[in-house]
Amino acid sequence: MGARSTRSQIVAVLVTCPNRRVAETVGQAAVEERLAACANIIPGLTSIYRWEGELCRDREVLVIMKTRRPHFQALARRVRALHPYSVPEIIALPVAVGSPAYLNWVAESTA
């Protein structure tokens, strides 16, 4: 696979967590296990959603991880194993464009 096709496989994975401790556990495991190149932890979110018929409003922490698309399923399994929610948010967004050097680094860091 060439550098261009590798870069086109980069995704940003979003995971909301109930607190910073869980976010750091998830992010650190993903990077240590090379399932993600990096994890950014963003505190201070307010999530509004419907769960089991009730309108909910909770403080959460967002983890943004960059990885390659082929690693998504393994990353999602690892997040589910570490996460306290029965249905954690785990979604991947394609990275349409980015710095070639950064995208290469993501690909190399998850090889």
Yes or no: say if 23 and 59 are a contact pair by the CB < 8 Å rule. no
Residue 27 token pair: 């992010």
- Domain range for 71 is 3-109
For residue 54, the domain's CATH number is 3.30.70.120
Closest CA to 107 of 63, 70, 74: 70
Count of domains observed in the chain: 1
User: What's the token pair of residue 99?
Assistant: 């710095």
Strand partners, 10: 68
pLDDT in tens, the chain (111 residues): 455 556 569 999 999 999 999 999 999 999 999 999 999 999 999 999 999 999 999 999 999 999 999 999 999 999 999 999 999 999 999 999 999 999 999 999 998
